[in-house]
Structure 1
Amino acid sequence: MTNIQNGPFIVTGASGQLGRQVIDNLIAAGAGPIIGVSRSPEKLADLADKGIEARKGDFNDPASLSAAFAGGKRLLIISTDDLEPGKRLEAHKNAVAAATKEGITHIVYTSLTNPVEESPITFSKDHSDTEALIKDTGVNYTILRNNLYTDLVLMGGGQSIGMGQHFAAAAEGKTGYVTRADCARAAAAALMQETGSSVLDITGPAALSQGDIAAILSEISGKDIPYIPISTDDLVKAMIGAGLPEFMAKVFASFDEAMAKDYLSVASDDLEKLTGQAGQSARDFLIGNKAALLTPPAQ
């Protein structure tokens, strides 16, 4: 990778799965200095011997963010996972305001594919509004519109294999599944490279239907796993029946609805252009995690 920028690089959500992988990528590239910001900085203690400075910062506590971002140059805002209406956007507002106050010169933000108001995904507007906030700062930015994690297929894929059927409310819609590891590579590259302001679609190399996913699960299991399309209402009822709160069930079902309406049918080469390496295919990822898919879920 050429033209690596000088830090300090600040990674928020640094103790989460994505944040830790971003830091690992920065370390591997020899980038620095690196500051990891977390609500629980003690979880980053093992990185101290690698020169990573851990700071406490909570998007829901604006007073904590000035100190967390102080002296930083290029900042990664990893979107929060708060599903309560309004809380995610309010948290992002606090982070963007602190970034502006502390003189951050470039903001990288992990957004969502097609974050338009019409999207069925319940928190889509939080992302579009956050993108607008960042653009309004006048600071250079890289907005990474990450598609759905292929990693999420592991959660339901094993269950589908166990049942011998793959249920989804996605109709024939397709999704440009991308691995969390590839999203981490993209975020690290965006921090390290100055490309001006841009909006990038971070996806896998191809958009797949749930029928395609069922075919991969069939290949992995050695048995026929048919795809059974169901309605969104039936999916919600099934998840509630499995013990999920109704609010959460509707959030998860909204992803299937977005698939059905092709809001997630995006497969771009932006990841390869940014990092020099194409994303991992869903098939290769799932085959690489065959053991996890074939392990019966804990009772």
Structure 2
Amino acid sequence: MTETLLVTGASGQLGRGVIHHLLDTLKVPPARIVAATRNPENLADLATRGVAIRQADFDDTASLVEAFKVAARVLIISTGEIDLGGKRLKQHENAVAAAKKAGVSHLLYTSMPNPEPGSPVLFAGDHYGTEQAIKASGIPYTIFRNGWYQENLFMSLPHAIASGQWYTSAADGRIAHGARDDMAVAIAAGLASGDAESTTYTLTGPQAYTVAEIAALVTDVTGKPIEVVQLSDEALTEGLKAAGIPSDFAPIVVSFDTNTRSGRIGMVTDAIETLSGKKPKSLRHFLEANKAALAG
């Protein structure tokens, strides 16, 4: 297989992870890899390894077309614009249109689990709209519905460990956090596979836990007890604002808990192992590996 593979958002954590797995795990020749980013100067290390660097701005469709022209398979990593003003969906639609114009043969995209209408996650519509745009383009596709990263726990656990209290509105909803690196290797494998069929994968960790079960696991690893305090969505939103979370971002954070409580993120799949051949790392592994950073 000699197709050229392009990764957008290549200077981000997931994008870099995908490219490093293409190079080091899957041994894809660097001449077949294109790293696209708004800021090419941030990818000098990849350039020295022989990876082609292309400037590509999701707000500039012409730059996307120019970058995508050199690639057969393009991975669109969702952008970080979650201001709820519709900007991210427009950026993604620009990328899909550019892929169509550039003659891309297979389009890959990082979405989220269950983004269909009705999702409590406030930016789910961005992902669902992008999936619909991809399907409407007629380009064969692979959609990776990435579950929540284990690394996302850095947003809540350090404070919970330090204070001894974890405020949540997730109730008994379950979530199977997965390691970002495990998702990166699975996505890299899908990108390099050459598969031409249209497919959707949901990527998760190996086990789903409630917040109370995660708290018990954290206590077991760190020795620090955590009391889980269940709140309403409204009370949690106000508490986050009082703690300094920006008022426009707090409802987004709370919508994750609402989503967990609704059961829409509780699935466990074997997609990571199916794609990469590697068993995903457990939550305990993550906690033990990051014990010092989490517990201060």
Query: Shorter-chain TM-score: what band?
Result: over 0.9
CA distance in 1, matches of 2:294, 2:230: 21
Which residue is equivalent to 1:13? Answer: 9
Which residue is equivalent to 2:236? Answer: 235
In the TM superposition, what is the alpha-carbon distance from 1:220 to its structure 2 partner?
Answer: 2.1
Assess if the C-alpha contact under 8 Å between 1:37 and 1:68 holds in 2. Answer: yes
CA distance in 2, matches of 1:154, 1:245: 17
Aligned residues: percent identity?
41
> Aligned ranges for residues 57-206 of structure 1 at < 5 Å?
57-84=56-83, 85-195=85-195, 196-206=197-207
Report whether the alignment pairs 1:40 with 2:39. Answer: yes
Aligned length, in residue pairs = 291
Assess if the C-alpha contact under 8 Å between 1:176 and 1:205 holds in 2. Answer: yes
Deviations 1:135-175 (A, max 9, x none): 12222211000111110112211111101122211011001
In the TM superposition, what is the alpha-carbon distance from 1:284 to its structure 2 partner?
Answer: 1.1
CA distance in 2, matches of 1:95, 1:61: 9
Deviations 1:114-152 (A, max 9, x none): 111101001111111111111122222110001111101
Assess if the C-alpha contact under 8 Å between 1:215 and 1:226 holds in 2. Answer: no
> Aligned ranges for residues 245-260 of structure 1 at < 5 Å?
245-260=246-261
- The TM-score, its normalising length taken from structure 2, stands at 0.95
Report whether the alignment pairs 1:53 with 2:49. Answer: no
CA distance in 2, matches of 1:166, 1:243: 16
Which SS does the other structure have where 1:174 is aligned? coil
CA distance in 2, matches of 1:212, 1:283: 11
Q: Which amino acid aligns with 1:166?
A: W
- The TM-score, its normalising length taken from structure 1, stands at 0.95
Assess if the C-alpha contact under 8 Å between 2:161 and 2:225 holds in 1. Answer: no
Q: Which amino acid aligns with 2:161?
A: I
In the TM superposition, what is the alpha-carbon distance from 1:79 to its structure 2 partner?
Answer: 0.5
Report whether the alignment pairs 1:273 with 2:270. Answer: no
Deviations 1:197-252 (A, max 9, x none): 10001000111110111011111221321222111111111111122221100111
Which residue is equivalent to 1:290? Answer: 291
- Specify which of 15, 19, 23 is matched with residue 23 of structure 1: 19
CA distance in 1, matches of 2:254, 2:101: 38
What's the RMSD between the two structures over aligned residues? 1.1
CA distance in 1, matches of 2:109, 2:212: 32
Unmatched 5+ stretches in structure 1: none
